[in-house]
Structure 1
Amino acid sequence: MSGTEKAMQGVADTLREFWAHRPVRPRAGRKLGGVATGIALRFQIDPVIVRIAFVALALSGGVGLPLYLAGWLLLPEEGDQVSPLESLLHKGHSSASPTTTVFVGILMFPALAFMFGGNGGFQVFVTLGAAAACIYLLQKNRGHLQPATTLPDQPTVATPPVPGAPAWDPLGAAPFAWDLPEPAPKPQPPAPRPRKSRIGATTLGVAVLTVAASAILGAWVPWFTAAHTIGLVLGVLAAGLLVGSFVGGGRGLIWLMIPLSVVGFGMTAVDFDFDSDTRISSYNENPRFVTDVKDRYETSVGSVTLDLRDLPDSGEVKTAIDVELGEAVVHVPKNADVTFRCEASSIGELDCLGKRAEGSSVAVDGRDLGNNGEGGLKIDLDVRSSVGEVRVLRD
């Protein structure tokens, strides 16, 4: 057997061992389905780290949502013979009702659609691979540990001593010795001071070097943006948390990882198309002649208000408004023939000559001939906002 075949066989054996001794979802100490708490108890790590990992995965293209639901379906609950999904297939008893199991299974469909429906297909597969690698490393390095019976932050309840019993016999098992003097306590050597972990500082150092290297790379590679830098830094922080879960330390990285995850999610989910020619401001335009109307009005952050009510009653006007983050408002004359298309490409609210829509990736279009029917000034509008409000008003 070649070295590659042996390595693959070792990976397969580790995954089979993980399934045979998979985590059990506890009934106490869990926040939702007990998946994160069960993983923490199985591998004796802080449950906060596991919960933060699921949140980070949820913000990385929505990967954490189907993974958590899969754990809910495939991990048995404390005291059950099999998992909810296996019970639904009549392979044993589970305390989860079939209705609950089916409901969680139905939730998998929108979760998977959200995960694969965006533009980050490659990112999704990379994140899934990283999650599988984390599970493999946990089983490889901590699979031999016995599952903890209590959470790390819950004290173990000791058996109360029998009243009157000496400290060396708290259960009162030797009544004949009750009159014996208490044994002198042995002097205990001073406990060594715990060595401060350097995982956090080392990870932060690597993260700073990553930012510096990304800045140099961005100067030479046009497509390498700030979103890529944030993704690399999140990967470094996640690796630091993973190592810290084995050797201790690094929990402070969580408070840096959370805001970076939110910023990275916003930069990838919302299509901001900034360039050096766009304006970051709010302004009003009130042209009085057809020739004064520009072909395009745009801004990155702010609002654009275009008032066409002072235009003459004849002629043709065609213009577009593009706002990345903010509001786009167009006022048209009462008698103009208006052909319009309004769009919120990421998320927003539309109100265009009586047609309304709100939500994610919404658009409306149509033609409105005004109060006097067809004839007179003709206006062709294309109004877009990536995130914000779009209105075309006749007033």
Structure 2
Amino acid sequence: MEKHTFSQMWATRPPRIPEDQGGKAVVGGVCEGIGARYQIDPTFIRVVFVVLTLAFGGGFFLYLLCWINMPRFGLTRSPWATIITPKQQLDKVEKKDRDTGWLLLLGLFLFFPSASVASDMRAVLVTFILFALGWFFLHQRQPEPPAGLLVGGPDEAPASNTAVVDTSHLTAPEGHEHPGRRAPAWDPLGVAPDLGHLPDPAEPAQQQPKKRNWLWIPAALGLSALALMALKFSSGLRTVDYGSFGSTHVTVYDIAAMPDLNGFVGESTIDLSELEPLREPATVNIENGIGKVDVILPRDVPVDVHCEVTVGETACPTERQNADADSALLTLNVSQRVGSVSAYYARSGEGEGSRLTPTRWWLAAWR
């Protein structure tokens, strides 16, 4: 992996295509620009950002980071570049982008602490790893940007193997040249600016069948799996992944043998109905990415339950349970990114799931 590859990725990064310039952007034109640069459906890019936000917590921060580092269509400076450039060197349009850059920078500083606290910092790191891998494989698939998309591209007609994107419906900012409307060799005086994206008739561009190399998809999935495995391993002995995928039902008898729980996707039932009274206060943190978390409460232990769901619903008691029980206090912190969380007492016939001793709990959790 050469240094040249990364510098080329950065130099040919996508421009933003906002709605006021003719794009079909929903927010800032980030997904629209990525789709045009790498010839993929912008809707797919939007879905990726949403999934990264809901599953790992860093998708929105990543979107703002892309926004501040991607220049608008027809510009060479990104909002971040306008911030670090002396104001007297900027034109009217770039000064407006400078104001946008300061707002984005403020949003990044405000959102990052909340994202890292609301979600595990390792999960936010996974967001950046997955995005970087996706960007790298997209660049390997199409290293050269489509003709007429980026400012400062070659003046000659596009080569036969270079993708061409239709930018005739897009408008450049006031006072800036449209990248797809430079005068070609057959029109040196620029009398037909709307046809500037056409190649020189002397060297007609041959239509090449579009190569679809889907090898990067399984490769990206494989690397993503490795990243998730590394995330699981780095969680340490105190945090156990109890339900990365699928369903899990665990009965706990001794709170001392139960580490903090950290799940990603699935349905998990944590049965505390057989829990023995506590000698000392204890706190248990239960986290899940997408799915459902059910906690069956103990009857002989006072419990404070704190439930939180980013997208979904909760059904948890808000007051201390079993306040008169002869036991130290148990505090349960249950958080779910997408789905539902409930905490309740076992009814007759419930709680017959896998009943694990403390030793078998460790083996099952790592199975």
Q: TM-score, normalised by structure 1?
A: 0.43
Structure whose residues are more often helix by fraction: 1
Q: TM-score, normalised by structure 2?
A: 0.46
Which structure has the higher relative contact order (CA within 8 Å, separation 6+)?
A: 2
